[in-house]
Chain A
């Protein structure tokens, strides 16, 4: 028996070592860092302990800009992508021929490198001296005037970011919702048909309640994912996101840690903890709303 005990832990040892060094220890350390004031990366010393890092970060205009960008991104992309994904999944589940082909094509963005395809989006939306770019020509064809979506006004940059983010997150949502729709028991639909229930009523009374746990799951993971947005922005605007005014909270954390403005792990830690607190709060609010609507 004693031998067996040892053996069990031996098999677990590699996983425990890696998780301990790269997950558990950092988790404690990040809190420690965030309270060490004036930490110097080179000498690894600090002057004192307190909440200065948090107050610095919360007063940094770059951080406030990043928070604003991230919130706009979350508020626009999460409902929109979930809604469109629901429409597409409903359409997919109502057809037979070509269904598999469509499903496969729709999933393609999931496996592609976001930085690589982001460059294609940049090329499509960018206005250069040589050409106004694909999208602008399209806008002109419909009588609009062209805008530089990559170096132009804030709303235009935000628009491309949202479009690209939605393009990137759609495959996962479509996949989850299509399989949720496929798992609704066919008998409910048959019964509704016998009763002559209208299509709209079938949707609101049967389909929606049956797949609502999955929609809810997608909204929660969508919020969490969107709050962590970063590489999509780098793909579109380059690594200097502060200069482009398009930084995100995660981007701010990395910029503080490394790069031209880097070398401040304490500020980075404080910002990361603030992000974590925001995500946690939003998730708890989501869960509470969900609990209430279930009770009602």
Chain B
């Protein structure tokens, strides 16, 4: 009798525990879904507003959460009324040139630190590492003066030059280069391979995953950069998308044309979102290895 009772209570306990677990799970999923909503809602609103027509947007005192008559007119306006196409092209030129130059500079430096033996290497590396702690805000003032004195305001060189080195990426790449076994290098040396050829034919292919991560992170950084381009360009011919969007906000379209503004915002956000959808694993892995925003 008592055994049957015990069995019953045990069942009850385990059922209660199960119910509790289910409830907890529901709470967790609702919580996560709620945060997901907060993250995604601005994007949805951006898309929705960008396909509402100007008149229907302004007629809605209570904004609707959907639209039955989507239009692409705003996108057309975004490219014709303001110079969005040019901002876009400028940003692509800036991003490609900066990233390409940076990859060359950091690869050479990382190779020197990882593979070559020379006097003063450790001291040089120590100094490089200590430069990582310097905030950009501190050096931007002089860089602004330097670029102005070089007559490079409103030029691509002025935009590009100050951001073609990154001590952090040199460090990241050096760590990766060092994982390649010494034997490979010695074998290549015996075969009479030059250092440069070894770097190009052996090290870079082996370290491709890290290089890709670095490139993607740099592209994101370039695409979103705002402060330096704003300081160095006041001619709209050289605006990047961030400055372009600020210009649009303050002078373009007329202040009230929110749908066209959202279309422009949409256009400049899409390339990075596509990049993210393709490479999200790489990007997240790269950032968790030590990237910070900005």
Interface of A toward B, CB cutoff 8 Å: 4-9, 11-12, 14-16, 18-19, 21-27, 29-30, 33, 87-88, 91-92, 94-95, 98, 102-117, 119-121, 123-124, 128, 130-134, 137, 167-170, 172, 175-176, 179, 221, 224-225, 228, 230-231, 234, 238-239, 250, 253-254, 257-258, 265, 268-269, 272-273, 275-276, 279
Residues of the A chain whose Cβ atoms lie less than 8 Å from the Cβ of B256: 128, 130
The reply to whether the CB of B204 lies closer than 8 angstroms to some CB of chain A is no
The reply to whether the CB of B141 lies closer than 8 angstroms to some CB of chain A is yes
Residues of the A chain whose Cβ atoms lie less than 8 Å from the Cβ of B128: 15, 19
Known: A14-B109, A120-B45, A137-B63. A103 touches B292 (CB 8 A): no
| CB–CB B294/A112 < 8 A | no
Contact of A12 among B38, B124, B162 (CB under 8 A): B124
Q: Give the contact-size bracket for chain B.
A: 35 or more
The reply to whether the CB of B186 lies closer than 8 angstroms to some CB of chain A is no
Residues of the B chain whose Cβ atoms lie less than 8 Å from the Cβ of A238: 246, 249-250
The reply to whether the CB of B288 lies closer than 8 angstroms to some CB of chain A is yes
Interface 1/0s, chain B 251-294, versus A by CB < 8 A? 00000101001100100110011011000100110011000111
**Chain A nearest CB: distance from B169 CB in Å?**
10
Interface 1/0s, chain B 144-177, versus A by CB < 8 A? 1110000000000000011011010010000000
Residues of the A chain whose Cβ atoms lie less than 8 Å from the Cβ of B220: 111
| CB–CB A131/B142 < 8 A | no
| CB–CB A123/B105 < 8 A | no
Known: A21-B146, A137-B63, A228-B137. A130 touches B241 (CB 8 A): no
Which chain B residues in 88-138 approach chain A with CB under 8 Å? 104-106, 108-109, 111-113, 116-121, 124, 128, 131, 134-135, 137-138
| CB–CB A172/B145 < 8 A | no
**Besides the contacts A19-B167, A111-B273, A115-B242, what 7 more A-B pairs have beta carbons closer than 8 Å?**
A7-B195, A12-B108, A105-B36, A109-B39, A113-B223, A113-B269, A120-B43
Identity of the chain B residue whose Cβ is nearest the Cβ of A22 in the assembled complex? B162
| CB–CB B284/A175 < 8 A | yes
Most buried by A among B29, B35, B268, B294: B35
13 contacts between A and B (CB under 8 A): A7-B116, A8-B119, A9-B112, A15-B128, A22-B143, A24-B131, A94-B28, A107-B283, A108-B43, A114-B224, A114-B226, A120-B42, A133-B63
Identity of the chain B residue whose Cβ is nearest the Cβ of A14 in the assembled complex? B105
| CB–CB B139/A8 < 8 A | no
Known: A14-B105, A18-B165, A106-B35. A123 touches B258 (CB 8 A): yes
**Complex Cα spacing A9 to B293, Å:** 31
**Chain A nearest CB: distance from B45 CB in Å?**
6
The reply to whether the CB of B207 lies closer than 8 angstroms to some CB of chain A is no
Contact of B137 among A21, A29, A95, A250 (CB under 8 A): A250
Interface 1/0s, chain B 229-250, versus A by CB < 8 A? 0110000000001100110011
**Complex Cα spacing A29 to B119, Å:** 29
**Complex Cα spacing A128 to B224, Å:** 28
Residues of the B chain whose Cβ atoms lie less than 8 Å from the Cβ of A119: 245, 249, 261-262, 265
| CB–CB A95/B28 < 8 A | yes
| CB–CB B245/A234 < 8 A | no
Identity of the chain B residue whose Cβ is nearest the Cβ of A273 in the assembled complex? B138
| CB–CB B292/A172 < 8 A | yes
**Complex Cα spacing A244 to B140, Å:** 24
**Chain A nearest CB: distance from B94 CB in Å?**
14
| CB–CB A254/B231 < 8 A | yes
Residues of the B chain whose Cβ atoms lie less than 8 Å from the Cβ of A23: 131, 134, 139, 165
| CB–CB A22/B139 < 8 A | yes
**Chain B nearest CB: distance from A37 CB in Å?**
16
**Complex Cα spacing A253 to B42, Å:** 30
Contact of B288 among A88, A175, A234 (CB under 8 A): A175
Residues of the A chain whose Cβ atoms lie less than 8 Å from the Cβ of B68: none
| CB–CB B62/A113 < 8 A | no
Residues of the B chain whose Cβ atoms lie less than 8 Å from the Cβ of A130: 58, 61, 256
**Chain B nearest CB: distance from A120 CB in Å?**
4
Most buried by B among A111, A130, A238: A111
| CB–CB B141/A257 < 8 A | yes
Smallest CB-CB A-B distances: 9 pairs: A8-B118, A26-B142, A26-B139, A11-B112, A15-B109, A29-B142, A18-B165, A8-B116, A116-B265
Residues of the A chain whose Cβ atoms lie less than 8 Å from the Cβ of B120: 9
Residues of the B chain whose Cβ atoms lie less than 8 Å from the Cβ of A117: 42-43, 46, 265, 269
Residues of the B chain whose Cβ atoms lie less than 8 Å from the Cβ of A231: 226-227, 242
**Chain B nearest CB: distance from A276 CB in Å?**
6
The reply to whether the CB of B74 lies closer than 8 angstroms to some CB of chain A is no
| CB–CB B116/A113 < 8 A | no
Contact of B111 among A11, A27, A95, A106 (CB under 8 A): A11
**Complex Cα spacing A18 to B43, Å:** 38
Which chain B residues in 47-65 approach chain A with CB under 8 Å? 49, 58, 60-63
| CB–CB B138/A30 < 8 A | yes
**Complex Cα spacing A234 to B226, Å:** 10
| CB–CB B249/A272 < 8 A | no
Residues of the B chain whose Cβ atoms lie less than 8 Å from the Cβ of A29: 141-142, 145
The reply to whether the CB of B25 lies closer than 8 angstroms to some CB of chain A is yes
**Chain B nearest CB: distance from A35 CB in Å?**
14
The reply to whether the CB of B31 lies closer than 8 angstroms to some CB of chain A is yes
**Complex Cα spacing A106 to B294, Å:** 18
